[in-house]
Structure 1
Amino acid sequence: MSSIFLKDEALNKSPAIVGFEIARYLKKSGRPRVSIFDVVDQFKRETWFSSNSFLYGLTFLYSVGLIDFDEPYLICRDAN
């Protein structure tokens, strides 16, 4: 069975770190809804960016309850 956490993976590409970068961008935007296309455009030049790392970062944020989806938007959930 494959795992999304790999011991040989670069730390800056791990789902928790990528999720943190995405969450920081969403918080800095100040909007409750942000287009996923805007988020991808923001990060596509980063060294860690790949479709897999981005998807795993979003999956991490969704699994811990920080974001929700309303196609094509990411919805920031209130995390006191």
Structure 2
Amino acid sequence: MSSIFLKDEAINKAPAIVGFEIARFLQNSGKSRISIFDVIDHFKREAWFSPNSFFYGVTFLYAVGLIDFEEPYLIARHAD
């Protein structure tokens, strides 16, 4: 079974950490939906950024129920 954290992986590229950065960006934007292209444009110069780490971070957020998708937008789900 795969692990969400790999012992050989830099911790700042772990799906939970990348997901946190994405969620924080969504929250700080003040919008409930934002284009995935805007999110990528914001993070593409970060040291942790790679297509795989971004994909796993977004997948992590979706799996725990924090975001939804409506092409091409990421939609923040608000806890009721």
TM-score normalised by L of structure 1: 0.93
Structure 1, unaligned runs of 5 or more? none
Equivalence for 1:22 = 22
Structure 2, unmatched stretches of 5+, are none
Q: What is the alpha-carbon root mean square deviation over aligned residues? A: 1.3
Question: Whole-Å Cα distance in 1 between the matches of residues 2 and 64 of structure 2?
Answer: 20
Does the CA-based 8 Å contact 1:18-1:54 persist in structure 2? Answer: yes
| 1:1-80 equivalent positions in 2, closer than 5 A | 2-79=2-79
CA distance in 1, matches of 2:52, 2:6: 13
Shift of 1:3: 4.5
The number of residue pairs the alignment matches comes to 80
In 2, Cα distance between the equivalents of 1:27 and 1:2? 29
Deviation at 1:7, TM superposition (A): 1.1
Whole-Å separation in 1 of the counterparts to 2:56 and 2:16? 9
Q: Deviations over 1:2-41 (max 9, x none)?
A: 5553110000000000000000000000111100000000
Cα deviation, 1:31-63, whole Å, max 9, x if unaligned, reads 111000000000000000000000000000000
CA positional deviation for 1:79: 2.6
8 Å Cα contact 1:4-1:56 kept in structure 2: no
